[in-house]
Amino acid sequence: MNRPFNFSAGPAAMPLEVLQQAASEMTNWPDAQGRPSGMGVMEMSHRGKEFISIYEQAEADLRELLAVPANFKILFMQGGGLAENAIVPLNLSRGETVDVVVTGSWSEKSYKEAAKYCTPHLAATGADTHFTTLPAPAQWQLSPGAQYVHVCTNETIHGVEFHTLPDLKALGSDAPLVIDFSSHVLSRSVDWARVGVAFGGAQKNIGPAGVTLVVVREDLLGHALKVCPSAFNYKTVADNGSMYNTPPTYSIYMAGLTFQWLKRQGGVAAMEQRNIAKAKLLYEFLDSSSFYSNKVAHDCRSRMNVPFFLADESRNDAFLTGAKAAGLLQLKGHKSVGGMRASIYNAMPIEGVQALVSYMQAFEKTQA
């Protein structure tokens, strides 16, 4: 099947194999031995043996893919990244001071939301460069006794990514690091020794919207504020195997199919190499051109989200119309930044990036 290449920032393209498998199992899911269940996954009780097997496989595959250590719990929650901006302080802040590093729109939202539950302190910001650089960790103003330090490790809108996680201990802080890895989860490995909590919505690199991954170190469970809703209390969710309330079963099933696909691709290490190659192709082209540009500093350019601009913005509509006709979808940039954005998550093959670069070269020629 020949589909267009879809550069959406999220909900985003999924591997065709995953969609086709889901389609074939839509009305009658078969178990691992191929025995038909007589039900689609959406119709299964979350407590039945069929769904429990789907859930357990998904969790085990995620743990393997991301090499999550045994002292971390994997939770499947709901509410997306934005709900986690409240859920994290509800669980971790104890109503006290927390440090937030603001590197773009998403961490800015985290900073603002935390103020409802605790006292967020702006430890550093990239606002002075319009979020085209990352403030160096050595310059962060970390608060003594902060309950955690929040960092968005890939800013989906501004296209800046931490290529190394900060080592808070080396910076003199004992606080756990909280990372929002929504838009680059499973595109690269995670250094768990530096992380307390990682959270991310699924709709970029994993599957459909509706499920939020939370990976939380066990010693951080059990400190929630009294007002924390039970369904959002990490300990309650962990103690109930993410089934305190009905989990988003179909999203978990789709995520599980993506995890299996990722394993067939060689896992996260193999995927990371492909992502490096894809990003290199696109950034090298952008840097070689005077017709297009990317404004992000080289050391923190996102491998997943590549915002770019035409030197003459009056040509934006023509660019997008031509792109669509060439089978390149959803390239319009976020309204707060403007221009274009190519999101090249795991499911985007290198052929998609090659097709984009070819189109961009051809478009430039037509405008000469």
Catalytic (active-site) positions: 106, 180, 204
> How far does CA 120 lie from the centroid of its chain?
23
Question: Is residue 10 near ligand PMP by the rule CB under 6 A?
Answer: yes
Q: In this structure, what are the phi and psi dihedrals at residue 15, rounded to the nearest 5 degrees?
A: -60, 135
* Residue 212 marked as a ligand binder: no
Residues 6 or more apart whose Cβ sits within 8 Å of residue 170: none
- Paired with 177 in beta bridges are 149
| Degrees, nearest 5: CA angle 11-13-14 | 105
Which residue bears the tokens 């999203």? Answer: 251
Pick the binder of ligand PMP from 81, 126, 196, 248 (CB under 6 A).
Answer: 81
Residue from 75, 152, 296, 344 touching ligand PMP (CB under 6 A): that is 152
User: Least distance from C-beta 101 to ligand PMP, angstroms?
Assistant: 13
Q: In angstroms, what is the minimal distance from the CB of 198 to ligand PMP?
A: 12
Stretch that binds ligand PMP, among 158-166, 175-183, 246-254, 275-283 (CB under 6 A): 175-183
> Binding to ligand PMP by residue 80, rule CB under 6 A?
yes
DSSP state of 228: S
List 19, 39, 52, 82, residue binding ligand PMP (CB under 6 A): 82
Interhelix angle 267-288/350-366, nearest 10 degrees = 10
Q: Would you say 35 is a known binding-site residue? A: no
Q: Quickly list DSSP for 147-198.
A: S-EEEESEETTTTEE-SS---TGGGT--SPEEEE-TTTTTSS---GGG-SEE
Report whether 78 belongs to an annotated binding site.
Answer: no
Which amino acid is present at 134? L
Nearer to ligand PMP, 135 or 201 (CB): 201
Which residues ranging from 197 to 216 are in contact with ligand PMP (CB under 6 A)? Answer: 201
129 marked as binding residue: no
Q: Does 47 show up as a binding residue in the annotation?
A: yes
Looking at beta carbons only, is 52 or 82 nearer to ligand PMP?
82
Give the residue carrying structure tokens 């290529």: 163
Tell me which DSSP letter residue 45 carries: -
Judged by beta carbon, residue 329 or residue 355, the one nearer ligand PMP is 329
> Where does residue 261 rank: exposed (0-12), middle (13-18), buried (19+ CB within 10 A)?
middle
Report the C-alpha gap between 350 and 164 in whole angstroms.
Answer: 24
Nearer to ligand PMP, 111 or 285 (CB): 111
For ligand PMP, the closer CB: 106 or 250: 106
Residues numbered 96 to 125 that lie near ligand PMP (CB under 6 A) are: 106
- How many residues lie near ligand PMP (CB under 6 A)? 11
| 14-22 LR contacts (CB < 8 Å, sep 24+) | 14/207, 14/208, 14/254, 14/258, 14/347, 15/258, 15/261, 15/346, 15/347, 17/261, 18/207, 18/254, 18/257, 18/258, 18/261, 21/257, 22/253, 22/254, 22/257
In angstroms, the CA 110 to CA 359 distance is 37
**In the bound complex, what is the minimum distance in angstroms from residue 5's beta carbon to ligand PMP?**
20
Binding of ligand PMP by 137 (CB under 6 A): no
Name the residue number minimizing CB distance to ligand PMP. Answer: 80
- Of 327-366, binders to ligand PMP (CB under 6 A) are none
Which parts of 276-315 interact with ligand PMP (CB under 6 A)?
A: none
Contacting residue, 93, 182, 251, 294, with ligand PMP by CB under 6 A: 182
Binding residues for ligand PMP, per CB under 6 A?
10, 80-82, 106, 152, 156, 180, 182-183, 201
